[in-house]
Chains A and B, each alone.
Chain A
Amino acid sequence: MVEHVLRLREVGVDYRTPAGAVTAVSDVTLDVPATGLTVLAGPSGSGKSTLLRVLSLVERPTRGGVELRGMGTARLSSGARRKLRRRDIALVFQNPADNLIGHLDVGDNLRAAAQAAGRVVRVDEVLEQLGLPGTATWKVSAMSGGQQQRLSFGCALARQATVVLADEPTSQLDTSSADLVLETLADLARRGVPVVVASHDPRLIALADTRFDLRNGALAA
C-alpha cells in the first residue's frame, strides 16, 4: 500500500505579470499521507491555493514534480491528467456555489459528480451522511451556504475520489455553517479518505492530522 497519496518534489510555480515573473511557490517538497486530514496553513498570499491547484493536477508547476499514488505526472499529457482528475481527485472550491451546478437539483448534483468519475451514487444515503436528508429534490439555491458546502463535500464523496482537496472551505461561511463543514471534513477523514485542505482557519488547522505551514511560497521551517 502506498503511504503517501500525493508527493511534491521541489515544486515551483512562477507567474508572468506585467511587472515581470513572480514566484508564487518555490521549491516545495512535501508528502501528503494516504489517510487523515492534511492542512496547508498560512496567511493570504503564502501560496496555499497555488499549491492546492498543483496538487489537484489543475495547474502544472513551472518546476519540480508531482506524484499521485506513486505515479509521476510531469510528463503526462493534458488528457492523461484529466483522466486522473476524473477518477482520483475531488476538488472543493472556496465559494460553495462554485462547487455545484445551479440549474440542477441537489440529487442531480450528486449524480452528476458521481457520473463524472464513472461511479454510481446512492443519493439518499449520501445526503443522510451529510445531515441533509430529504433535500434531493431541492434547488441548490434553496440551501444555505453551509449546506451547499457540505453538499460540495458530498459530491466529493459521491465521486469516491482517491483524495479530496479543498481550498478555504470555511472562509465564506458563518461560524455555525463552518462548524457543519468541519464536522463533514472530520467525518471524511475518519472514513479513511485522505483530505487536503488549504486554510488559515485556526479551528480547521486544529483538526489537522498533518500540517504544512507556508510562508511566502515556501514551507516554513
Chain B
Amino acid sequence: MQIPWRAAPRAALSSPLTLLVSVVTALLLSFVVAAAVLHSAASGSAAIDYQQRQLCQESLHPSLESTVGVPHEYVADGVKAVTEAMAGHPTLIGMYTREKRTDFGGKQTLAKFGYRAGAMDHLKVLEGGGKDGLWVPQSIAVTTDLRLGERGLGGRLPPVTAIYADVIDPLPGWWCSERHFVVPNVLDRDELATAVVWMPSAESFYALPPEVTGPTDITVRFPADVPRTVDEAAALLTGGTARIAPIKDSFNRTISLLDLPVENARQTAVNVRSAVLPLTLISLLIGLAGVATVTVQWAQRRQAELRLLWVRGSGPVALGGRGVLELGLPLVVGGAAGLGAARLLLPVYAPSVVLPPGTVSTAALAVVVVVASSIVVTFATGALRTHRMFQVAGRGNRLRKVLTALPWELATAALAVWAWDRVQDSGLATTTTVGGLPRIDAAALAFPLLVVLTVALLTARLAKWALAASHRARLWSKPAAQLAIRRLAAGAGPVTGVLLVGVLAVGTIAVGSAIAGSQKTALEVKSGMYTGSDSYARISSEVTELPEALRGDSTIVGLVEQYDRTALVVDPKTFLEGAFPFEIDPALLHEPLRVGDVPRREVQLPGLPPIKPDKWVPSFPKLGTAGWVVPLDVIEDRDDIGSWYVWSRKPLAEMTSALAAAGVKFSRTVGVKEKAVQGLPFLTIQWTFGFVTALGAVLAVVASIALLLAVEVRRRQNALSGAFSARMGLGPAAMLRSHLFELGAVAGAAVVVGLAASAVSSGFTVPKLDPAPRLTPVPEVPNVVPLLVTTVAGSVAVVLVAAWIAVRAVRSAKIGELIRG
C-alpha cells in the first residue's frame, strides 16, 4: 500500500470536525438499526411479561388436574405413581376432598379436607401454628366455635393446631393455581361452599375417616421460574408438555396457559418489527445520505491531495479507497458506540429490558451490515465524487439533476393514500384465534409517517423554490431580515436538507407521542369503562351498605341482564365515587337513563319496573353504548335483581380485605380493570409508536447537529459578511437579530410544519387505530401542549446556540482570515 493510503487513518486526525461528524453519523445510524432490533425483541419479552401478569404464574408450566373425583382409597397410589414418574422434577401435588358434613366437637358443619406440601407456610395464622395438626379456616372455626386442641369426629381427626385466615381474592402467587379448590364460591354454591381444612401430612390425608372422604380432586403443578422471554416461555411450554405427557392420561384436565401467550408474544414481536421497519428504513436512508454528505465534504476538504494523487495516476476507485481508509475507522468506532448506546438506552426507549439470548448478537450483526453499507457508501461517494471532480470535470451532474427533479413527494403521497385505504379497510386486521392477537397492518400504521414524510419533502421543495426566488425580496429597510434571507438563499442546499430532516423529526416525534399516548389512554379508559371501576366483586343482594373502609371511593351496583339487554341499578349518592371517572351530570343519575343506541321505547327487564327514560347519555360504565340505568330507589325488591356488585376505585386486595373484615361475603366473581381487556394490541401500537418517537428524537439530534455544523462550516463566510455588514453600520444587536431570524426561520418552519402535519395525520389516524372498537370510548389525541412546549423550547435552544456560534465567528474573526476571504 502506498504511503498516502497507509497514512490515511492518521490523516483523519488533521480534521477533528470531520472525524466527529463521521463518528456521530455512524453512531446515530447504527443506534437506529440496533435499537430497532433490540426494541422488537424486547417487545416480545414485554408481551410475555404483560400476559404473565394477566395469568397465574404457578400455572405457567403445563399442569394437570383430576376433577372427576378419584376414589379416596386410590389417591395414595395415584400420587405415588405421579411422584415416581416425575422423579427429579419439582412437583407440587394438591389433594382435596369434596365438602361433607363433619362433626367438630358436637357442632356439625360442611368441610372439605386438603393437603398440599408447604400449604401451611403460605397461610396467615390467626391462632396457634403447630404443623402437626389440623389447620382450620377462620370461617369454620367461627361457625363451629372450634378451639385449638379440639379434635373432630370423636377424636379420629388430628387435633386443631392452628386457625388461619381464609384465603381470599386476589390470591397470592402460591395459591392462584388452586383458586378453584381453596376459595369458596359462596354466592354460587351458598352454604355448600367452604374453605379447606388442611391436613398436616399426605399420610394423614390418606388416613382420613371414610365419612369425610369420597371423591377426591387432585392437582399436579410444576413450580418453575417465570419465563422472561418468548424463547424461555416457548421452552417452558414445550418442555412442560413433554414432561407431563407420560402421566397425562390419568387426569381429565390439562392446563396449558402459555399456548396463546407464546403465540401472541411472537406475533407482537413480528408486528412491532414490521411496524417500525418503514421508519427505520427511512432513517437508514437519511443516515446513509448523511454518510455520503460527510464524504462529499471530505472530498472537498481533501481536493488538493486527491487532485495530486489523481494527476499522479490514481483512479476514482483508489481515491474512493483513500476515503474509506480515512473515514472508515470513525465509522467503525461510531457503529460500535451506536450499538453500545442502543443497548445502554434500552430502558429509555424499549418496553422491556429483557432480551432473548442472541438478540444483541443480531443487533451487532445488523450494525456490522450498516457500518459495511456506510463504508460502501463512503467508497462509492468518494469514487464518484473524484470521478466527477477530475475525470469528467465541467460536465453537468445529470444524475443529481434527475434526482432533484423527481417528484418524490408525489410517490410518498401515493403511498400515503394507499396506506389510508388500508387504515379505512381495517386499521387492525381481525384475529384468527379466539383471544389471540389481531394481526396489525404495518402498512396502515405507516400512514401517519408517510403523511409527515410527504409534507417534509414538499416543504423542502417549496423552500428551495422560495429561496431561488428570494432575490426578488427587497427588504433593505430591514437589513437584518434582508441579510438573513440572502444567507439562507446562499446556503439553499444545506437549508433545505436541515428543513427536511427537521420537519421529519418534529413530525415523527409528534405523531409517535400522540398515537402512543392515545393508545395508553384508550386502554386505561376502555378497561375502566368495561369493568365499571378499578375493581369489582360480586356480593349478595342482602348487602345494602358499604363497609366503612370502602366509603367514599366505592359504590354498590345491580346488574340486570336479559339476552343482549343490560341495565344497571345505581346508587346516585355513591355511584360517581366508585365508578370509573366519566363525564355525566350527577342529576341525571336520579332518574332512569337510556344509554347509547338502545331504542327510545318502554322496556321491561327482570326485577325492574317498566321504564321509558326521557334522558339519554351516549355511554356509561359497564354498559358501553347500549343499556339502561336505573336509580336504586326505583326497584322494589333487591333480590329480584340479577346480581349485585361492589365497584371500587381501590385495588382489589384492599377492597376484598375490607369486605372480609366487615364480614361481607363475596363470590369468586371478582376482577380488576387491568385484566379485563386484552391490552396487547394497544400495547403493540404504543410500543411501535414509542419507538417512532425515539427515532424522531434521533432525527431531531441529526437536524440540530446539521444546523450547528452548517453554521460552523460557514464560519469564515459569516465572519466576512459580518465584517462587511458591520462596516456598513449594522450593529451587533441587529447582527444577532439577523442570525436569529435566519436560523429561527428554519427551525420555526420545521416545528410549525412538523406539528401541523402530525396534528392532521394523527387526528385522522388515532380514532381509526382502535384495537377494541366495541369498547368505548374511541381513542382520542392526547393533550399536545406539553409536547408543543418541549419542542419549541428545544428548537429555541438550538437556534440560540447556532446564532451564538454565528455571531462569535464574526467577533473572533482574525484580520488575516478576512483579508484572505
Q: Which residues of A contact B (CB under 8 A)?
A: 15-16, 56, 58-59, 78-79, 82-83, 85-87, 89-91, 93, 95, 97-104, 108, 111-113, 115-117, 159
Assembly CA distance A93 to B307 (angstroms): 10
Give the residue name and chain of the A residue nearest to B1 (CB).
Answer: A115
Within the complex, the shortest CB–CB distance from B17 to chain A, in Å, comes to 15
- Beyond A16-B394, A101-B4, A104-B7, 13 additional pairs, beta carbon < 8 A: A15-B394, A56-B311, A79-B315, A86-B312, A89-B311, A91-B311, A97-B304, A101-B308, A103-B7, A104-B4, A112-B2, A116-B312, A159-B312
Q: Does B397 contact A (CB under 8 A)?
A: no
Give the residue name and chain of the A residue nearest to B317 (CB).
Answer: A79
A-B contact pairs, 10 of them (CB 8 A): A15-B394, A93-B307, A98-B307, A101-B308, A103-B10, A104-B4, A111-B3, A112-B2, A112-B4, A117-B312
Assembly CA distance A134 to B648 (angstroms): 92
A-B pairs, top 3 by smallest CB distance, nearest first, are A86-B313, A116-B312, A112-B3
Q: In chain B between 1 and 56, which residues have their CB closer than 8 angstroms to a CB of chain A?
A: 2-4, 7, 10-11, 14
Q: In chain B between 308 and 335, which residues have their CB closer than 8 angstroms to a CB of chain A?
A: 308-309, 311-315
Assembly CA distance A69 to B303 (angstroms): 30
Assembly CA distance A91 to B4 (angstroms): 18
Within the complex, the shortest CB–CB distance from A111 to chain B, in Å, comes to 6
Assembly CA distance A16 to B394 (angstroms): 8
Give the residue name and chain of the A residue nearest to B316 (CB).
Answer: A78
Which of the residues B3, B313, B394 comes within 8 Å of A82, measured between beta carbons?
A: B313
Within the complex, the shortest CB–CB distance from B232 to chain A, in Å, comes to 54
Q: Does B669 contact A (CB under 8 A)?
A: no
Q: Does B640 contact A (CB under 8 A)?
A: no
Residues from chain A with a CB closer than 8 A to the CB of B14 are 102-103
Residues from chain A with a CB closer than 8 A to the CB of B2 are 112, 115-116
Give the residue name and chain of the A residue nearest to B12 (CB).
Answer: A103
Give the residue name and chain of the B residue nearest to A111 (CB).
Answer: B3
Q: Does B391 contact A (CB under 8 A)?
A: yes
Which of the residues B11, B308, B315 comes within 8 Å of A78, measured between beta carbons?
A: B315
Per-position contact with A for B403-438: 1 when CB-CB < 8 Å, else 0? Answer: 000000000000000000000000000000000000
Give the residue name and chain of the A residue nearest to B2 (CB).
Answer: A115
Residues from chain A with a CB closer than 8 A to the CB of B311 are 56, 58, 85, 89, 91
Residues from chain B with a CB closer than 8 A to the CB of A98 are 304, 307-308
Chain B interface, number of residues (Cβ within 8 angstroms): 21
Q: Does B636 contact A (CB under 8 A)?
A: no
Q: Does B305 contact A (CB under 8 A)?
A: yes
Residues from chain B with a CB closer than 8 A to the CB of A15 are 394
Residues from chain B with a CB closer than 8 A to the CB of A100 are 308
Within the complex, the shortest CB–CB distance from B5 to chain A, in Å, comes to 9
Give the residue name and chain of the A residue nearest to B304 (CB).
Answer: A98
Which of the residues A83, A95, A99 comes within 8 Å of B313, measured between beta carbons?
A: A83
B307–A115 touching, CB < 8 Å: no
A101–B305 touching, CB < 8 Å: yes
Residues from chain B with a CB closer than 8 A to the CB of A82 are 313-315
A103–B11 touching, CB < 8 Å: yes
Residues from chain A with a CB closer than 8 A to the CB of B390 are 58
A116–B7 touching, CB < 8 Å: no
B3–A108 touching, CB < 8 Å: yes
* Max chain A C-beta neighbours (<10 A), residue from B10, B304, B313, B315: B313
* Max chain A C-beta neighbours (<10 A), residue from B3, B10, B304, B314: B3
Within the complex, the shortest CB–CB distance from B85 to chain A, in Å, comes to 76
Give the residue name and chain of the A residue nearest to B303 (CB).
Answer: A98
Assembly CA distance A210 to B10 (angstroms): 44
* Max chain B C-beta neighbours (<10 A), residue from A15, A16, A78, A111: A78
Residues from chain B with a CB closer than 8 A to the CB of A58 are 311, 390
Residues from chain B with a CB closer than 8 A to the CB of A159 are 312
Assembly CA distance A12 to B7 (angstroms): 40
Give the residue name and chain of the B residue nearest to A165 (CB).
Answer: B311
Within the complex, the shortest CB–CB distance from B387 to chain A, in Å, comes to 9
Give the residue name and chain of the A residue nearest to B10 (CB).
Answer: A103
B307–A78 touching, CB < 8 Å: no
Residues from chain B with a CB closer than 8 A to the CB of A111 are 3
Give the residue name and chain of the A residue nearest to B307 (CB).
Answer: A98
A116–B391 touching, CB < 8 Å: no
Give the residue name and chain of the A residue nearest to B8 (CB).
Answer: A103
Residues from chain B with a CB closer than 8 A to the CB of A83 are 313
B3–A87 touching, CB < 8 Å: no
Assembly CA distance A156 to B2 (angstroms): 17
Assembly CA distance A98 to B305 (angstroms): 7
Within the complex, the shortest CB–CB distance from B114 to chain A, in Å, comes to 84
Assembly CA distance A116 to B314 (angstroms): 8
Residues from chain B with a CB closer than 8 A to the CB of A87 are 313
Assembly CA distance A111 to B2 (angstroms): 9
Assembly CA distance A78 to B318 (angstroms): 14
Per-position contact with A for B513-552: 1 when CB-CB < 8 Å, else 0? Answer: 0000000000000000000000000000000000000000
* Max chain A C-beta neighbours (<10 A), residue from B11, B304, B312: B312
Per-position contact with A for B586-609: 1 when CB-CB < 8 Å, else 0? Answer: 000000000000000000000000
Give the residue name and chain of the B residue nearest to A87 (CB).
Answer: B313
Which of the residues B3, B304, B308 comes within 8 Å of A115, measured between beta carbons?
A: B3
Residues from chain B with a CB closer than 8 A to the CB of A91 are 311
Give the residue name and chain of the B residue nearest to A159 (CB).
Answer: B312
Within the complex, the shortest CB–CB distance from A153 to chain B, in Å, comes to 14
Residues from chain A with a CB closer than 8 A to the CB of B309 are 116
Residues from chain A with a CB closer than 8 A to the CB of B394 are 15-16
Within the complex, the shortest CB–CB distance from B299 to chain A, in Å, comes to 15
Within the complex, the shortest CB–CB distance from B624 to chain A, in Å, comes to 70
* Max chain B C-beta neighbours (<10 A), residue from A102, A116, A159: A116
Residues from chain A with a CB closer than 8 A to the CB of B391 are 78
Within the complex, the shortest CB–CB distance from B396 to chain A, in Å, comes to 8
Assembly CA distance A113 to B312 (angstroms): 8
Assembly CA distance A59 to B393 (angstroms): 9
Within the complex, the shortest CB–CB distance from B806 to chain A, in Å, comes to 28
Within the complex, the shortest CB–CB distance from B18 to chain A, in Å, comes to 13
A85–B312 touching, CB < 8 Å: yes
A116–B305 touching, CB < 8 Å: no
B3–A85 touching, CB < 8 Å: no
Assembly CA distance A104 to B2 (angstroms): 12
Within the complex, the shortest CB–CB distance from A66 to chain B, in Å, comes to 16
Give the residue name and chain of the B residue nearest to A78 (CB).
Answer: B391
Residues from chain B with a CB closer than 8 A to the CB of A108 are 3, 7
Give the residue name and chain of the B residue nearest to A109 (CB).
Answer: B3
Give the residue name and chain of the B residue nearest to A79 (CB).
Answer: B315
Assembly CA distance A15 to B308 (angstroms): 23
Assembly CA distance A89 to B313 (angstroms): 9
Residues from chain B with a CB closer than 8 A to the CB of A112 are 2-4
Assembly CA distance A85 to B312 (angstroms): 6
Assembly CA distance A34 to B308 (angstroms): 24
Give the residue name and chain of the B residue nearest to A97 (CB).
Answer: B304
Give the residue name and chain of the A residue nearest to B390 (CB).
Answer: A58
Assembly CA distance A111 to B314 (angstroms): 16
Assembly CA distance A100 to B304 (angstroms): 9
Assembly CA distance A101 to B302 (angstroms): 10
Within the complex, the shortest CB–CB distance from A40 to chain B, in Å, comes to 18
Residues from chain B with a CB closer than 8 A to the CB of A101 are 4, 7, 305, 308
A104–B315 touching, CB < 8 Å: no
Give the residue name and chain of the B residue nearest to A82 (CB).
Answer: B313
Within the complex, the shortest CB–CB distance from B69 to chain A, in Å, comes to 89
Per-position contact with A for B97-126: 1 when CB-CB < 8 Å, else 0? Answer: 000000000000000000000000000000
Assembly CA distance A99 to B314 (angstroms): 15
A117–B11 touching, CB < 8 Å: no
Assembly CA distance A91 to B304 (angstroms): 13
* Max chain B C-beta neighbours (<10 A), residue from A93, A98, A103, A116: A103
Give the residue name and chain of the B residue nearest to A104 (CB).
Answer: B7
Residues from chain B with a CB closer than 8 A to the CB of A103 are 7, 10-11, 14
Residues from chain A with a CB closer than 8 A to the CB of B314 are 82, 86, 116
Assembly CA distance A101 to B5 (angstroms): 11
Residues from chain A with a CB closer than 8 A to the CB of B11 are 103
Residues from chain B with a CB closer than 8 A to the CB of A117 are 312-313
Q: In chain B between 367 and 409, which residues have their CB closer than 8 angstroms to a CB of chain A?
A: 390-391, 393-394
